[in-house]
Chain A
């Protein structure tokens, strides 16, 4: 979800930047060095996946996938989204420097909320059906919260944009449903093929096989002055 540059008011831009900085800080602190490559790779997959167009009726929509990323990564989704959105701005000029904060904040908050919802629901409803319900809610919530926050950003800029914000929100309702379905099916697929990808989230353990190696790389020393 990209708001173009030059639309939002300074207050909204500033709030977005602060939220993104805080989220990135938390995400990076919780990100273990051994998981860094996984997060980078999933961030690249998020970039590629969000270029995929899904047909709906006569037109097509592109996926957001922030819900799925939140389900897989939790807080680490915020830096992953920051990286992917910066590169989208650099490659295709979707968004830009000043709106990067707001765009990352809307998508990142939604991803974190989707991750919480997924963890909570899988706790309440164990089994494969619970997993599917949780994944659907995670995916749908990712779009819903992102659309809500984007609408708030527009509405908070100027009262003249309130109607535009409402239209944007309504336009995202079908996308929410599709995103939920896709997330549900993709998570079910991963649970069958590579359950450890989800296991790291569900049990709070680190998931990757190479995480078990004892002499893990330490956080690099500060070599600069």
Chain B
């Protein structure tokens, strides 16, 4: 099991910015996009996400693979909601009706999901996990939670290696996974063994840490300082978000309630609704 925890960490203009600024901006941007109800604002947000992803120099192959994975759910939504949302019928074909509201909802979901994904990858996933945890510490996250994060990040790779060893050992003994009782019993035993070993390891590590005088806090090495470039980037992105909010201002707030004119250009046979 190969867990790559830094596939998006690249030397890039965004990678050089202060992680605290990126974190705050990411929260502002993703929450804003999640609240948008206007397709145009969402489409513009998607453009903003694409620009940020380019500025963060995210590796194209990886980002497209992850994007495809995210869009599996979007595809599922497109296969279901246009037919099941009650509302005005946009067009009908052999008794299967597609509603305007359904199409509107599916479009919104597709745009928003991809936009938030790109913003999140560009701003947050482009920092190392340990840096992200230190940002949380700076923002006065509860200390126990920060410790949980740090220890979990530290041991995920160790336990993944351990699982790999167990799995390879099982395969070497001729274990062939299939849909049968033996497979489930074996996987459960391997999982149980992984949990037992992690429990034992936790005891050993905790004792070792206390012997070395651990007092509940790790001293972090990273120093954060926000310079002119960070502030300029923050203001620029905040202005972009404000502009998107202005575009969104005309949109209705109700669930899946498209403005009457919406989509007439997209689907010519639309006027029946």
| B179 CB to nearest A CB, Å | 5
Q: Which size class do B's interface residues fall under?
A: 35 or more
Contact of A93 among B120, B129, B178 (CB under 8 A): B120
Q: Contact: B195 with A42, CB < 8 Å? A: yes
Interface size on A, residues (CB 8 A): 83
Q: Is the interface of B mostly helix, strand, loop or mixed?
A: helix
Given A41-B198, A48-B159, A55-B177; A6-B33 close (CB under 8 Å): yes
Query: A112-120, A140-148, A183-191: which lies at the B interface?
Result: A183-191
Q: Contact: A163 with B117, CB < 8 Å? A: no
Indicate if B35 sits at the interface (CB-CB under 8 A): yes
A208 to B198, CA, bound (A): 12
Question: Using Cβ atoms and an 8 Å threshold, which residues of chain B touch A38?
Answer: 199, 202-203, 206
Indicate if B187 sits at the interface (CB-CB under 8 A): yes
Indicate if B231 sits at the interface (CB-CB under 8 A): no
Contact bitstring B118-151, A, C-beta under 8 A = 1, else 0: 0011001100010010000000101111011111
Given A40-B152, A164-B77; A217-B70 close (CB under 8 Å): no
Q: Contact: A189 with B192, CB < 8 Å? A: yes
Query: B12-20, B105-113, B241-249, B263-271: which lies at the A interface?
Result: B105-113
Q: Contact: A91 with B192, CB < 8 Å? A: no
Question: Using Cβ atoms and an 8 Å threshold, which residues of chain B touch A161?
Answer: 77, 80-81, 105
| A16 CB to nearest B CB, Å | 12
Q: Contact: A41 with B151, CB < 8 Å? A: yes
Q: Contact: A5 with B30, CB < 8 Å? A: yes
Contact of B193 among A41, A56, A189 (CB under 8 A): A189
A154 to B177, CA, bound (A): 34
Tell me which residues from 23 to 41 in chain B have a Cβ below 8 Å from any Cβ of chain A: 26-27, 30-31, 33-35
Q: Contact: A220 with B217, CB < 8 Å? A: yes
Q: Contact: B144 with A31, CB < 8 Å? A: yes
Q: Contact: A6 with B112, CB < 8 Å? A: yes
Q: Contact: A182 with B191, CB < 8 Å? A: yes
Q: Contact: A197 with B195, CB < 8 Å? A: yes
Q: Contact: A48 with B160, CB < 8 Å? A: yes
The number of inter-chain residue pairs (CB within 8 angstroms) is 267
| CB-CB nearest in chain A for B1 | A51
Indicate if B74 sits at the interface (CB-CB under 8 A): yes
Q: Most B CB atoms within 10 A — which of A39, A90, A223? A: A90
Question: Using Cβ atoms and an 8 Å threshold, which residues of chain A touch B60?
Answer: none
Q: Contact: B159 with A44, CB < 8 Å? A: yes
Indicate if B201 sits at the interface (CB-CB under 8 A): yes
Indicate if B168 sits at the interface (CB-CB under 8 A): no
Q: Contact: A217 with B216, CB < 8 Å? A: yes
| B214 CB to nearest A CB, Å | 7
Q: Most B CB atoms within 10 A — which of A33, A181, A185, A209? A: A185
Question: Using Cβ atoms and an 8 Å threshold, which residues of chain A touch B233?
Answer: none
Q: Contact: A54 with B187, CB < 8 Å? A: yes
Contact bitstring B34-56, A, C-beta under 8 A = 1, else 0: 11000000000000000000000
Q: Contact: A28 with B142, CB < 8 Å? A: yes
Given A52-B187, A83-B148, A163-B84; A96-B120 close (CB under 8 Å): yes
| B212 CB to nearest A CB, Å | 12
Q: Contact: A44 with B152, CB < 8 Å? A: yes
A residues with a Cβ closer than 8 A to B are 3-10, 13, 24, 28, 31, 33-34, 36-45, 47-49, 51-52, 54-57, 63, 65, 68, 72, 79-80, 82-84, 86-87, 89-93, 96-98, 157-164, 167, 178, 181-187, 189-190, 193-194, 197, 208-210, 217-220, 223-224
Cβ contacts A to B, 14 pairs, < 8 Å: A6-B33, A7-B77, A37-B151, A41-B199, A45-B159, A48-B163, A56-B179, A87-B156, A93-B117, A93-B120, A160-B84, A164-B81, A197-B195, A217-B214
The 9 closest A-B pairs by CB, nearest first: A6-B112, A160-B85, A220-B216, A185-B188, A189-B192, A40-B151, A41-B202, A6-B113, A37-B206
B residues with a Cβ closer than 8 A to A are 1, 3-5, 26-27, 30-31, 33-35, 66, 70, 73-74, 76-77, 80-81, 84-86, 99, 101-102, 105, 108-109, 111-117, 120-121, 124-125, 129, 132, 140, 142-145, 147-153, 155-156, 158-160, 163, 177-179, 183-185, 187-189, 191-196, 198-203, 205-207, 209-210, 214-217, 255-256
